[in-house]
């Protein structure tokens, strides 16, 4: 892994962790507000719970792309495909 790739990955990780922190803060505020106000969690669009679900799905997709489908996975897949296409030379 060269410097540019490592720097890009660290930048993406930093953005992801910031987004995760903000998600936790906003979710905590919304859920605790619902619990103290109504005594239960209310799932409605205007209350913010649906927005949290959508935000959570987006964060999950980003996590999969960042941790499972990273550059190393892509390079391994490219190398595997290149090995498949190699043909033996018969002398």
Q: What is the pTM of this model?
A: 0.65
**pLDDT greater than 70 at residue 1:** no
CB 10 within 8 A of CB 76: no
CB 28 within 8 A of CB 22: no
Domain positions in the chain: 10-84
**pLDDT greater than 70 at residue 46:** no
pLDDT of residue 88: 62
Paired tokens of 39: 């005594």
What interhelical angle do 3-38 and 49-63 show, nearest 10? Answer: 160
- For 63-81, write each residue's pLDDT tens digit: 998 888 777 777 787 788 7
The three-point CA angle 36-37-42 to 5° equals 100
């Amino acid at each position: 892994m060269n410097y540019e790739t490592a720097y890009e990955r660290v930048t993406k990780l930093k953005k992801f962790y910031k987004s995760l922190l903000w998600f936790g803060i906003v979710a905590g505020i919304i859920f605790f507000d619902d619990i103290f106000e109504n005594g239960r969690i209310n799932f409605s669009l205007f209350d913010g719970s649906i927005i949290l679900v959508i935000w959570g799905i987006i964060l999950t997709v980003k996590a999969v792309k960042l941790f499972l489908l990273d550059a190393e996975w892509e390079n391994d897949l490219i190398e595997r495909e290149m090995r498949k296409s190699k043909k033996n030379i018969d002398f």
